[in-house]
Structure 1
Amino acid sequence: MQTRLPIRAVLLLVLAASSVAHASDERNKPSVRLIMLSEHPTDGTRPIYVKGQVVTTLRFEQLVDADKTKMSDWEGRLEPLAVVRNKVLLEPIRDLNRDEGIPLLVTLADGTEIPFLVRPPWPKRDGGWPPILDQQVDVFKDRESYAAMHAALMDALKKNDTLAEENERYRKEENSVDHAYATLLANGHAKKTPFRFVMAARPKDPNMEMLVEVFSGPGKAAALITLKNTNHGDTWEFAGAYLTRDLTSYTKQSFALRMTRSAIAQGQSGTIAVVADKSAFEKDGQLVDLALQIFRSDGNQQVMVRMDRTLIRQ
């Protein structure tokens, strides 16, 4: 459902003028998702995406009635619900399963009841990584208030920045040699690339047959992951990939990625090809080892591939 804000021209000018100087700082804050409540009586329950042992905060414009704010069937899955003035704090004890959902009813001081469904992280629409995980969710009942319109403006600016970055990345990829190599590898044409096969492995997974192949190249390295979904009934969905030195996002490196399909139904197969340039392996003038992690849509790691520095041929 799309929300249209009845923003008056004069107020919009005031917001824009007061926000330009701080727009960059605002957009660099930790992840905050915006929810505008609809006045329509059939507006549905809204999902809140949480992760085990990570606190998610719901923030409202007015005080929350703690006695009338409740969760259903939360025991053993979440810590007891905490209400602090206008905030509701959620902390799962463990990661929720993909099909789990915990009903949450928040009641504001004026009696307004707002239903939510607490869910595990969910894949982004564009298949990007990481999946949606809520750190803070700002919920606005009065869509014409200054705070609501300011938040909407910041949200729009952030989305515009993201689209601009994606468009620039796609433009570069069109002319990228590494992406061309990754396309050839993913489609079974390794012999048409400068890469040499080095080794293969078959990691164990009860729901997936996997073959990992690693290649050495002149100034580059590559990996090819072949997946066959043997899970009865469930479709496997790609969420994203990291290439890092220490398995954290702080050391993630750029690379080219191509796949034959982002969703693999039961019985189907698909391939994921990754090509990394020598520059990704460089640290302080020396080559270091990297690790390639492939994640599925439930947020869990499907496979990890060691990308040894010796794969880079001089």
Structure 2
Amino acid sequence: MASVAVARGRDPNVWSAYVQGPPIESVRRLHVTPHVVTVLRFQQPCDAEGTKMLGWEGRFEPVACAGKRVLIEPLQVLGPEDRFLLVVRLADGTEVSFTLMGATRKEGEWPDQQVNVFIEPETREALQSQLKEIRQRERLLEEATYRHYKEDTADHALAKLLTTGAINQTSFIERRKRIVKTDDGAEMVVRIFAGKEKAAVLLTVTNRHPSKPWSLAEARLRTTRPGEDPRAPFLFGEARPFALRTDRDEIAPGESGNVAIVVDRSAFKADDGFVKTLALEIYRQDGFLDTYVLLDRRLVRE
């Protein structure tokens, strides 16, 4: 339970490739996406004349060498069958080959933003990179374990049921429903539920944007003050706890997904009794407010 819930977005997709054996025989896969630059970073400068990609015309910007870096930028979506061979020649004549393919939403096929290529994996820089990656994996594992512990609550279980459409397995009763169209091409069906000592909100988001995915950046739940403008943003209220679940990390263009929030009766408590209204704000991936919902205390049945 937290007063502010932040979507678990991915960190920039940066990884390291450690070349074993003859570099030209060790082909690495790169996943690229339109209008996003993928950077290959080497231990020595690259040779622009010897760095080539086959069949790139009209599909990519010209491959650019910038010191120890190679820059790759697709101009259009690559089909599942598309493969492009890139050969990078370094200053000492070493050649390293890569297969470029389109990024997907499958695990392990996210767009590569930077790849650190180590031709000599036993150098100090390469060993330091490996140590950093090991420590990062340990940190992510600890965070995942802690997050699982904090989110293992009854309210999170209820929110999970809402995202899967199993509303009849809960005590919630739908009270209001409205449709919101955002300035970023998303359409939201907002459903507000009353329940026994709990209230809930279910947002079904359909992404109408032609190319950009939608994802939740942050949700905030705050008290409202008497006389305060009943429109977002709500800056002066106190943060309140809630449980949040989504059925996917991001919603691709043309697809739909669910975001569920469950609020316990205790969130309405104040020093002098109960607050009348709580304000729930939903922020999308670029940090802009997409919509807000006012929750009346009468939604929470005794």
Band the TM-score falls in, shorter-chain normalisation: 0.5 to 0.7
- Per the alignment, residue 215 of structure 1 pairs with 192
Deviations 1:77-118 (A, max 9, x none): 211111123221112234444543322111223333222122
Cα 1:43–1:85 change in 2 (3 A) is same
The question of whether the paired residues in 2 share the 8 Å contact of 1:179 and 1:256 is answered with no
Q: Secondary structure, in 3 states, of the residue corresponding to 1:290?
A: strand
Cα 1:122–1:147 change in 2 (3 A) is farther
- Per the alignment, residue 282 of structure 2 pairs with 290
**Equivalent pairs: percent with the same residue?**
26
Matched, 1:87 2:75: no
Cα 1:94–1:313 change in 2 (3 A) is farther
TM-superposed CA distance for 1:214, in Å, is 2.8
Deviations 1:167-190 (A, max 9, x none): 111222322413333225515343
Match of 1:117 among 93, 99, 102: 99
- Per the alignment, residue 274 of structure 1 pairs with 259
User: Using the alignment, how far apart are the partners of 1:75 and 1:157 within structure 2?
Assistant: 41
User: Using the alignment, how far apart are the partners of 1:97 and 1:195 within structure 2?
Assistant: 45
Counterpart of 2:111, as a letter, is L
Which residues of structure 2 form unaligned runs of 5+?
1-10, 182-186, 207-212, 220-241, 250-255, 265-276, 298-302
- Per the alignment, residue 309 of structure 1 pairs with 293
Q: Secondary structure, in 3 states, of the residue corresponding to 1:125?
A: coil
- Give the CA RMSD over aligned residues: 4.3
Match of 1:242 among 213, 216, 220: 216
Deviations 1:114-145 (A, max 9, x none): 2212233343638xxxx733222110011110
- Per the alignment, residue 77 of structure 1 pairs with 59
Matched, 1:106 2:83: no
Cα 1:185–1:41 change in 2 (3 A) is closer
Q: Which has the higher contact order (CA 8 A, sep 6+)?
A: 2
Task: Name which of structure 1's ranges 183-192 and 139-148 shifts more when overlaid on structure 2.
Answer: 183-192
Counterpart of 1:276, as a letter, is I
Deviations 1:223-248 (A, max 9, x none): 3579xxxxxxxxxxxx9942547xxx
Which residues of structure 1 form unaligned runs of 5+?
1-28, 204-209, 227-238, 246-253, 263-270, 280-284, 294-305
Higher percent of residues as helix: 1
The question of whether the paired residues in 1 share the 8 Å contact of 2:24 and 2:95 is answered with no
User: Using the alignment, how far apart are the partners of 1:255 and 1:97 within structure 2?
Assistant: 39
- Rg bigger for which structure? 2
TM-superposed CA distance for 1:213, in Å, is 6.9
Matches within 5 A, 1:224-239: none
How many residues are treated as equivalent by the alignment? 233
- TM-score, normalising length from structure 1? 0.59
Matches within 5 A, 1:180-199: 180-183=158-161, 186=164, 188-190=166-168, 192-196=170-174, 198-199=176-177
User: Using the alignment, how far apart are the partners of 2:280 and 2:162 within structure 1?
Assistant: 26
- Per the alignment, residue 29 of structure 2 pairs with 47
The question of whether the paired residues in 1 share the 8 Å contact of 2:45 and 2:90 is answered with yes
Q: Secondary structure, in 3 states, of the residue corresponding to 1:119?
A: strand
Cα 1:140–1:41 change in 2 (3 A) is closer
Task: Name which of structure 1's ranges 131-140 and 74-83 shifts more when overlaid on structure 2.
Answer: 131-140
Counterpart of 2:15, as a letter, is R
Q: Secondary structure, in 3 states, of the residue corresponding to 2:140?
A: helix
Match of 2:245 among 257, 271, 274: 257
The question of whether the paired residues in 2 share the 8 Å contact of 1:59 and 1:87 is answered with yes
Matched, 1:165 2:149: no
User: Using the alignment, how far apart are the partners of 1:243 and 1:255 within structure 2?
Assistant: 15
- TM-score, normalising length from structure 2? 0.61
Cα 1:214–1:291 change in 2 (3 A) is farther
The question of whether the paired residues in 1 share the 8 Å contact of 2:214 and 2:284 is answered with no
- Per the alignment, residue 132 of structure 1 pairs with 110
Counterpart of 1:134, as a letter, is D
